[in-house]
């Protein structure tokens, strides 16, 4: 997998309170493309961050229905991947902040 495919698979980290609590247990949460598979996500994370991945869990997040000035709209669906790292490996998601 080349660098471009890695960046097309992993869109970015999910920084929420729940995702931060998972980092205490060696889990990092990423936003990925809807077409991404577990083996492809695992390979992309291992190549991008030079870590060893133990497991990958994925889920589809349904977009919410919202109103803006009385007009109904809908946010798009997206896919989330919770990546569990092997013991001794870590990723600093908040490094640039």
Residue 96 reports pLDDT greater than 90: no
Each residue's pLDDT tens digit, 61-71: 999 999 999 99
| Secondary element (H or E) of residue 45 | helix 38-49
Identify the band that residue 31 occupies on the pLDDT scale cut at 50, 70 and 90. very high
- Distance between CA atoms of 77 and 63, rounded to whole angstroms? 4
Please report, rounded to a whole number, the percentage of residues in the chain having pLDDT higher than 90. 79
CA 16: distance to chain centroid?
Answer: 12
- Distance between CA atoms of 60 and 21, rounded to whole angstroms? 20
Q: How many CA atoms lie within 13 A of 58 on its CB side?
A: 17
Take residue 19 and report the two structure tokens written for it: 């995702």
CB-CB contact of 47 with 2 (8 Å): no
Q: Is the pTM of this model over 0.85?
A: yes
User: Domains of the chain (ranges plus CATH)?
Assistant: 3-64+73-85 (3.30.70.330)
């Amino acid at each position: 997998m080349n660098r471009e495919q890695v960046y097309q698979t992993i869109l970015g980290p999910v920084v929420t309170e729940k995702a931060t609590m998972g980092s205490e247990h060696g889990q990092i949460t990423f936003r990925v493309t809807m077409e991404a598979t577990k083996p492809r996500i695992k390979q992309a994370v291992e190549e991008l961050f030079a870590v060893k991945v133990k497991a990958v869990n994925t889920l589809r997040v349904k977009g919410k229905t919202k109103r803006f000035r009385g007009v109904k709209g809908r946010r798009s669906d997206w896919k989330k991947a919770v990546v569990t790292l092997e013991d001794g490996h870590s990723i600093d998601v908040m490094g640039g902040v």
